[in-house]
Amino acid sequence: MAKDSERLEREFIATAREKTGKDIPEWLEVIKGSGEIKPNAILNWLKETHKLNHMQANFLSGMYLNDGKPVYDQQVLFAKLFDGKDHLRGVYDALEKATAAKLPDTLFIPTKTYVSIEAKRCFACATLTKTNIRVGLDLGDLPFDDYTQKARSLGAMPNLTHMVEITAPDDVNERLLTVVGQAYTNAHTK
């Protein structure tokens, strides 16, 4: 879940010197000196040259390419998701507000490519395209129909089987909230 990645990154930042022998600014200078500029090249270089584990190398590579800032800074991630898609902000706000009212323990956690919608488990996501928001849902074996389509291009977890595309705040209606509630129930009864 997205909240685990954020927690693990914070823990790594807090314990980097203890676990790796260097703090984050020192590692960023080491990476700069490597001449590597691509995410996987940096990751592999850190693993091979400095014997870091995959998670440590991944966090450092991500922070280096994010101007030294944590990758899982929610405000930064959220802003990047809406870059060039400001017209979808009202749609997203309506989705978040209505979902939180119906399911108060729900968290909305931005990632690099989508907003994870989760409580104890991820049960939905909001993926922004140029024209709409794809609300991915964990509906299991529920048949697809003209409203709840087969999930595609969500960038999220494989348990999200269905999606509903929304383009306006009015699309956040009782029908959508019903399937969001079904996804919540389905994910939390597994």
How does DSSP classify residue 164?
E
The span from the CA of 167 to the CA of 2, in Å, is 25
Q: How confident is the model over 82-108, as pLDDT tens digits?
A: 999 999 999 999 999 999 999 999 999
What are the structural domain ranges in the chain?
2-72, 77-188
> Given this model, what pLDDT does residue 74 score?
79
5, amino acid identity:
S
The span from the CA of 156 to the CA of 174, in Å, is 24
> Given this model, what pLDDT does residue 90 score?
97
Q: How confident is the model over 136-166, as pLDDT tens digits?
A: 999 999 999 999 999 988 876 778 999 999 9
Provide the pLDDT confidence category of residue 26 given band limits of 50, 70 and 90. Answer: very high
Instruction: Work out the average pLDDT over 42-55.
Output: 96
For residues 128 and 142, the answer to whether their CB atoms sit within 8 Å is: no
**Cβ neighbours of residue 178 closer than 8 Å, sequence gap 6 or more:** none
